[in-house]
Structure 1
Amino acid sequence: MEIKVEKLINEQKQKTVSLITLEKRLKKRLGDEVSPWFYKELANAILALEEKDIIEPFKNAKTYSRDARIKEKYKKKKALMVDEKTLKQELLTSFHQNISVSYYLKHLEEYHDMKEKVKMISEFLKGCYENMPYLSVNERSYEIFEEEKFLASKEGKKLLANLKLSLETLYCYETYEPFFHIGIARTKNENILIVENKDTYFSIKKLFLENIHSWDNIKFSMIIYGEGNKITRSYEYLDELGVPDVNIYYFGDFDREGIAIYHRLQKISERSVKIVKSFYLRMFNERKNKPAKDQYWNKEAIKNFFKENKFRDEKIMKDYLAAGKYVPQEAVNIEILRRMADGATKTL
């Protein structure tokens, strides 16, 4: 971070450095690589440049709202050139043999920002031994960095990839957030139904226990309680359960967020994910005149939902969503589900 901040400061012609402007320029340059610790890292970089006499704060400058350690305005004093030769020498001679330095030899700025963490990993590897006990990823992360969530973060995963290391190399394993479910899929091409809300999950679970588990000629061998958006974090628990390449079906609320969850699930899944179309048709038919909800309009999610699933009343359904209206999946209650099941002849 320090090198990037220094470069941006050196690139500008003005002697006055506005932290608000610098923050915007830095975020734009980082793009998707903005870390959860962005403001802390920015403040650390500013303090480092101040200590090196590169910049100094204006006497009457206000405190920066994101970090009280620094000010909103600084003035440039002199430019600092990165000693690339020293950084290359450090990369080539200082680290454990299992660490690949080829990436950082070509990206010295990134290495400068991450070198303390690279050193920590190297020191850990030097202390490893045969049959070393495995820890969970967060436990190992805390041991190495004193930051329990770093290794599992986007930034941590990128660092390991750049060094060509794996969790296995660090003697740790990934953990998965579990979900509630009934049944299990053991063979390929079986079908799993993910249900967004608790009551509907329990209704379908009750039917499942009554040996009612087929709708639209789709026989489900496993029902999962998605727990709203939590399923996007717990989805990989399927791998922990040893579930093979199966067909995933989703049933959620007919609203902007329910469709967005379905879309997120599709993006993270390597398995096929579809909706149970008849559930959505029936749900929409059961709509009431409920007050609108203020939910985010995910344009891509809405577009893909209707592109993949053709509905006769598509325009009416789109307008309904555009107005912020919604139908909870509880509208399709247990008795409706019972009547909709394949082979159903009566309501019990």
Structure 2
Amino acid sequence: MEKIYKSLNTYPKRTILLSDLQDLLGSFFKDYDDFANTIISLENNGVLQMVKSKGRTTRTPSLAYQYRIDKSKLSARFHQEIQQYQNELHPAINLDEYYQKDSTIWQHDLPYLLKINDYLHTNGFPKEVVPAPERSFELVQDEKWITEKGGKEILERVGLFERLKITPVSDPLMFAVNPKTIHSTTQYHLIVENKTTYQGLLPALKKTEFSTLVYGSGKKVIQSIEQFSEQYPVEAEHVFFYFGDLDREGISIWYSLTKKIPAQLAMPFYEACLEKQPVYGKDYQKQYKEAQTTFIKQFSPTQQAKIEDVFSQGKYYPQEILKSKELQQIWREADWKKLTYNN
């Protein structure tokens, strides 16, 4: 019956023809009588409701030609199962998020949750931090599960990722350090998307109030930023600024980065870009509407209109549109303290 409930719950429509019902569930039964009796049982408990206008077959047992699927009944059964496991699994495994998920996600995750449960009951929570592949193998006997097969998402879903002391296996964060600011109580960090911009700004680092210049290497920074506190274990209030290409991909990188750290836009650089002539290209890039809307809101109404017009023409502003001398001058002279969200 479990497979039948799962199949009905994942069926994309609310109504189903008898012929489609036979195609969907027929393989679970040895003959028509077995199939029909089960459908009648589902009718009786309200999971399947006859569409009266379509009538019923003349065969015995008689079935409706079309049914409505009451997915709330399926969900109630699904929720009971979650509650049962919540009472049986290790108390640290929080299943609350599954009540809002499709049952297929629960069915996919359950075998892993059982393995994690066995690990916790046998070993308790680890005291030492280890790389993700090592912890992954300990938990589910698959060293790639956390990093490549959705394991990190499952552990976060049940509130265990932080407690299992896992070191990310992303590439190390690449940055240069300004020794003059190492003891500052508030420290500023500039993340730039491209290597050319990083090299152009590097000579000015010691002449700024910034503690680090971070080379983002495109999308890599989204993962590698997780290692910042390990690679730069300095007690201070850390303020991050980001400067990337003013195109859809650059905006997406910044938006994804903000999910990891409060990275605000390095506005003086972007404003300087908007004074230049945009160039054609990157029109193949996918638009991430939420990211673009959030990004554009940071600018004045006039600047917002200009950015939208540039994109509508299939144009963009690469970071390289600003030469090294311009980059360095902007970095040295902008009032970054005034630009932080905290001030």
Give yes or no for TM over 0.5. Answer: yes
The answer to whether 1:196 aligns with 2:193 is yes
Q: Which amino acid aligns with 1:141?
A: S
SS in 1 for 2:16: coil
- Counterpart in the other structure of 2:285: 295
- Counterpart in the other structure of 1:180: 174
TM-superposed CA distance for 1:14, in Å, is 1.8
- Is the CA contact 2:129–2:167 (under 8 Å) kept in the aligned structure 1? no
The answer to whether 1:223 aligns with 2:213 is yes
The answer to whether 1:53 aligns with 2:50 is no
Alpha-carbon distance change, 17 to 77 in structure 1, aligned in 2, over 3 angstroms: farther
Residue number among 248, 251, 258 corresponding to 2:240 in the alignment: 248
State the alpha-carbon separation in 2 of the partners of residues 128 and 311 from structure 1.
57
Structure 1: any 5+ residue segments left out of the alignment? 23-45, 57-74, 214-218
- Is the CA contact 2:168–2:226 (under 8 Å) kept in the aligned structure 1? no
SS in 2 for 1:181: strand
The answer to whether 1:239 aligns with 2:233 is no
SS in 2 for 1:238: helix
Greater share of helix = 2
| Equivalences, count | 285
Residue number among 298, 306, 314 corresponding to 1:308 in the alignment: 298
- Counterpart in the other structure of 1:259: 251
State the alpha-carbon separation in 2 of the partners of residues 122 and 308 from structure 1.
45
- Counterpart in the other structure of 1:205: 202
State the alpha-carbon separation in 1 of the partners of residues 31 and 190 from structure 2.
58
State the alpha-carbon separation in 2 of the partners of residues 316 and 90 from structure 1.
56
Q: Which moved more, 1:234-243 or 1:108-117?
A: 108-117
C-alpha distance after superposition, 1:214-236 (max 9, x if no partner): xxxxx211110111122222222
State the alpha-carbon separation in 1 of the partners of residues 132 and 285 from structure 2.
35
In the superposition, the TM-score normalised over structure 2's length comes to 0.64
State the alpha-carbon separation in 2 of the partners of residues 132 and 321 from structure 1.
50
**RMSD (CA atoms):** 4.5
C-alpha distance after superposition, 1:21-73 (max 9, x if no partner): x9xxxxxxxxxxxxxxxxxxxxxxx9xx77743999xxxxxxxxxxxxxxxxx
- Counterpart in the other structure of 2:7: 5
TM-superposed CA distance for 1:114, in Å, is 3.9
- Is the CA contact 1:53–1:78 (under 8 Å) kept in the aligned structure 2? no
Alpha-carbon distance change, 163 to 337 in structure 1, aligned in 2, over 3 angstroms: closer
Q: Which amino acid aligns with 2:18?
A: K
- Counterpart in the other structure of 1:335: 325
- Is the CA contact 1:192–1:223 (under 8 Å) kept in the aligned structure 2? yes
TM-superposed CA distance for 1:193, in Å, is 0.6
Q: Which amino acid aligns with 1:173?
A: I
- Counterpart in the other structure of 2:268: 278
State the alpha-carbon separation in 1 of the partners of residues 276 and 305 from structure 2.
17
TM-superposed CA distance for 1:197, in Å, is 0.3
Structure whose alpha-carbon radius of gyration is higher: 2
- Counterpart in the other structure of 1:143: 138
- Is the CA contact 2:174–2:215 (under 8 Å) kept in the aligned structure 1? yes
State the alpha-carbon separation in 2 of the partners of residues 230 and 54 from structure 1.
53
Q: Which amino acid aligns with 2:244?
A: G
Alpha-carbon distance change, 116 to 173 in structure 1, aligned in 2, over 3 angstroms: same
C-alpha distance after superposition, 1:320-343 (max 9, x if no partner): 122121121112121223444546
In the superposition, the TM-score normalised over structure 1's length comes to 0.63
- Is the CA contact 1:53–1:77 (under 8 Å) kept in the aligned structure 2? no
TM-superposed CA distance for 1:194, in Å, is 0.6
- Counterpart in the other structure of 1:42: none
State the alpha-carbon separation in 2 of the partners of residues 338 and 132 from structure 1.
45
- Is the CA contact 1:176–1:236 (under 8 Å) kept in the aligned structure 2? no
- Counterpart in the other structure of 1:70: none
Alpha-carbon distance change, 254 to 98 in structure 1, aligned in 2, over 3 angstroms: closer
- Is the CA contact 2:248–2:286 (under 8 Å) kept in the aligned structure 1? yes
C-alpha distance after superposition, 1:257-306 (max 9, x if no partner): 2223222223432x3x3223232232233336544632223333333333
State the alpha-carbon separation in 2 of the partners of residues 319 and 14 from structure 1.
50
State the alpha-carbon separation in 2 of the partners of residues 162 and 255 from structure 1.
32
Q: Which amino acid aligns with 1:195?
A: V
State the alpha-carbon separation in 2 of the partners of residues 316 and 88 from structure 1.
51
Structure 2: any 5+ residue segments left out of the alignment? 43-73, 335-343
Alpha-carbon distance change, 112 to 260 in structure 1, aligned in 2, over 3 angstroms: closer
State the alpha-carbon separation in 2 of the partners of residues 128 and 142 from structure 1.
14
